[in-house]
Structure 1
Amino acid sequence: MQRRLLRARDGDRGAASIFVLAVGLVLVAGGLGGAAVGAARNGRHEARTAADLGALAGALRAIEGQEAACLRAAELVAANGARLTACRLEGLDVVVQTETVVTPMPHLTTYASAAARAGPIRG
């Protein structure tokens, strides 16, 4: 009877190690996924902030024309770490589109974009 119990235990050796390894891998994968989502959200916020500030800066120069407004918007967008992808003047409103580089995981690069409009207050 004692021999049968020992043989049954021998068959289970190492199962707990594999289980702990599997749980650890699931936790690491979850952490990587969470970090990727966080990086994407951060990139989106950076693009949105750069677009807002660029549009406001361009609106200050809107009376001088599209070239002056978009040049000033581009300066502020670049100062905020983004790239100006489009800028146009619609009346006295400046519409700005920006893009930032997002690297949520090593060797994985994507882009976050945003747009903003700024102009005079209309009553």
Structure 2
Amino acid sequence: MARRRVLVGRAWGGGGDRGSGTVWVVAFAALVWITGAAAIAVGGVRAARHRGDAAADMAALAAAARIAEGGGSACGRAGDIAAASGARLSRCRVSGGVVDVSVTVRLRVPMGIGRLRVVSRAKAGPVGRDGVP
């Protein structure tokens, strides 16, 4: 009588890889999720940087327009403009006819990174003849 071999529990040539496809799919999904979350975080920081730069520029120009009224009035106006732009005036210096402002934009970054502060600076002053200082 001939002996027959019966393979039990082996499908398609091997039983050592059973379930490995699931592990690879879960690992790939986690990688895609982490990459997406990192892209969102970087995008948020870049948007805050642009908002801070714009706020600093507008605050400096508004302060420069009020230099004739005095440094206090110029810096007060810069603070109002920065606040309306979603930033906070952190420094304002008037030296001669030039205004130097710094604004801070705070944001919360996901993924446990926490809160960040983005600082932007701008200067504005009088324009000479033909628009050249």
Which TM-score applies when normalising by structure 1? 0.92
The answer to whether 1:116 aligns with 2:91 is no
Structure 1: runs of 5 or more not aligned: none
Paired residue for 1:105, among 79, 93, 110?
110
Q: With a CA cutoff of 8 Å and minimum separation of 6, indicate the structure with the bigger relative contact order.
A: 1
Runs of 4+ in 1 over 6 A off after TM superposition: none
Alpha-carbon contact 2:37-2:111 (below 8 Å) kept: no
Paired residue for 1:65, among 49, 62, 70?
70
More helix by share: 1
The answer to whether 1:77 aligns with 2:113 is no
Identity of aligned residues (%): 34
Paired residue for 2:100, among 85, 88, 95?
95
Alpha-carbon contact 2:62-2:77 (below 8 Å) kept: yes
Shift of 1:2: 5.3
Shift of 1:106: 5.7
Shift of 1:6: 1.7
SS at match of 2:10: helix
Give 1 or 2 for the bigger CA radius of gyration.
2
Q: CA RMSD in A?
A: 1.8
Structure 2: runs of 5 or more not aligned: none
Which TM-score applies when normalising by structure 2? 0.85
SS at match of 1:121: coil
Shift of 1:5: 8.3
SS at match of 1:10: coil
The answer to whether 1:9 aligns with 2:21 is no
Q: Which residue identity is paired with 2:88?
A: R
